[in-house]
Chain A
Amino acid sequence: METNLYDENTLLMLDGNAAAGVLYEIFSVEMTVAPARCAGCGREGELGSLKAFMQGPGVILRCPTCGSVVLRIVQTPSVTYVDARGAAFLCIPRTP
């Protein structure tokens, strides 16, 4: 993903680890090491390797290769929306 140091979006970008807390809340397991495939370009990698944008109303995780949104999470007082259409799959660890 091309990044420009003078672009506001680059400055707001965090590493996938920044979303570790909210991901753990939803899936009840450490998700930063969970493999996922980008539906946009096919890149496979751990969720921790995605780029996180946390400034908006929700959390967005983008593919570091093609920039498309892999996961979008919005939390309201009563529900949590998870939009995972940008992920061809998520591989969620099972607790033994």
Chain B
Amino acid sequence: MSSANRRAIDWQVASVKAVRRETPRVVTFTLTLPYPTPHRAGQHYDIRLTAPDGYQAQRSYSVASEPERTGEIDLTVERIEDGEVSTYLHDVLVPGDQIEVRGPIGGYFVWEASLGGPLLLVAGGSGIAPLMSMIRHRCAAGSTVPTRLLYSARTYDDIIYRQELNHLQHTQSGLEIIYTLTRAQPPGWAGYARRIDAAMLSEVAAPLLELAKGSLRTYVCGPTMMVETTAGALFAAGIPAEQIRTERFGPTGG
């Protein structure tokens, strides 16, 4: 196939360069691509598996790496118990293996530094993946737009990219990260300890709303219930619908 006519939607065979465990349930796969196209933070790739009998299963995974890291992409995948694709990726795929992908796809749930802010990012579980791409891009682009990430995880050990987020929080100007641990908290935990609700969002969004309500951009990603609750609360707090971008996983997650 001539590269000149290639579309991002055409399938290509990617190679697994590295596999990195993030948390007990979550792994990041670094893939190299024969036809790399710089993505925009928030876009995703589709992965397609084909069984010997021809049966195919396909899922979408957000790119977690920044566009500035060219030639390869990070896909962060949570292992879902009965998941057709995630269990294969976790249990079978190793560096050196190949896998069919297409992308980058999606133009609605994207952020790039030129769009400005302030930015409110709200993540539920593995919904952090596309938002991490935005945070990493923000860092690589040298952006200092005021940014707050509200990240909901079950426990401290389930916080994906925890070390990197802690590092970024201390080194990146204007970036604040607030966690809420919904199932169990470490001793001495002084942060939020419940599911995201309107009161929490109101507190987290307040400084950004005060700063520049008209240009505040919000991105919410995670399980459907959490996204629904969050979007509703943000809208009720006076943020216009066009400034609230959501990406929901569906009832069972990615």
CB distance from A43 to the nearest CB of B (A): 11
Question: In the bound complex, what is the Cα–Cα distance between A30 and B229 (angstroms)?
Answer: 29
Contact A12 to B60, CB < 8 A, known contacts A17-B109, A24-B7: no
Contact: B225 with A15, CB < 8 Å? Answer: no
Contact: B9 with A46, CB < 8 Å? Answer: no
Contact of A86 with B by CB under 8 A: no
Please report which residues of chain A, range 42-90, place their CB below 8 angstroms from some CB of chain B when the two chains form the complex: 45-49, 64
Contact of A92 with B by CB under 8 A: no
Chain B residues touching A, range:
20 to 34
Closest to A33 in B: B107
Residue from A3, A13, A20 in contact with B105 in the complex, judged by beta carbons closer than 8 Å: A20
Contact with B along A1-38 (1 / 0, CB 8 A): 00101000011111111101100110010111100000
CB distance from B1 to the nearest CB of A (A): 14
Question: In the bound complex, what is the Cα–Cα distance between A72 and B9 (angstroms)?
Answer: 20
Residue from A3, A28, A32, A64 in contact with B107 in the complex, judged by beta carbons closer than 8 Å: A32
Contact with A along B215-254 (1 / 0, CB 8 A): 0000000001100110000000000011000111011000
Instruction: Count A interface residues, CB 8 Å.
Output: 26
Q: How many A-B residue pairs have CB under 8 A?
A: 67
The residues of A that contact B225 with a CB separation of less than 8 Å are: 5, 11
CB distance from B99 to the nearest CB of A (A): 16
Contact of B55 with A by CB under 8 A: no
Contact: B251 with A12, CB < 8 Å? Answer: yes
Contact: B248 with A13, CB < 8 Å? Answer: yes
Contact of B102 with A by CB under 8 A: yes
Contact: A10 with B9, CB < 8 Å? Answer: no
The residues of B that contact A14 with a CB separation of less than 8 Å are: 224, 248, 250
Question: In the bound complex, what is the Cα–Cα distance between A49 and B109 (angstroms)?
Answer: 9
Question: In the bound complex, what is the Cα–Cα distance between A14 and B46 (angstroms)?
Answer: 16
Question: In the bound complex, what is the Cα–Cα distance between A3 and B7 (angstroms)?
Answer: 36
Residue from A5, A10, A16, A25 in contact with B108 in the complex, judged by beta carbons closer than 8 Å: A16
Q: Which of A17, A18, A46 has the most CB of B within 10 A?
A: A17
The residues of B that contact A17 with a CB separation of less than 8 Å are: 44, 106, 108-109, 247
CB distance from B170 to the nearest CB of A (A): 32
Question: In the bound complex, what is the Cα–Cα distance between A24 and B44 (angstroms)?
Answer: 13
Contact of B80 with A by CB under 8 A: no
Contact A24 to B8, CB < 8 A, known contacts A3-B228, A10-B228: yes
User: Which residues of A are at the interface with B, using a C-beta cutoff of 8 A?
Assistant: 3, 5, 10-18, 20-21, 24-25, 28, 30-33, 45-49, 64
Query: What are 23 A-to-B residue pairs whose CB atoms are below 8 Å?
Result: A3-B228, A5-B225, A5-B228, A5-B229, A11-B251, A15-B108, A15-B109, A15-B246, A17-B44, A20-B105, A20-B106, A20-B107, A21-B9, A21-B105, A24-B7, A24-B9, A30-B106, A31-B107, A33-B107, A33-B108, A46-B108, A48-B107, A48-B109
User: Which residues of B are at the interface with A, using a C-beta cutoff of 8 A?
Assistant: 7-9, 44, 46, 60, 102, 105-109, 224-225, 228-229, 241-242, 246-248, 250-251
User: Can you name 4 extra interface pairs (CB under 8 A) apart from A11-B225, A17-B108?
Assistant: A24-B9, A47-B108, A48-B109, A49-B108
Shortest 5 CB-CB contacts between residues of A and residues of B:
A48-B108, A32-B108, A33-B107, A24-B9, A32-B107
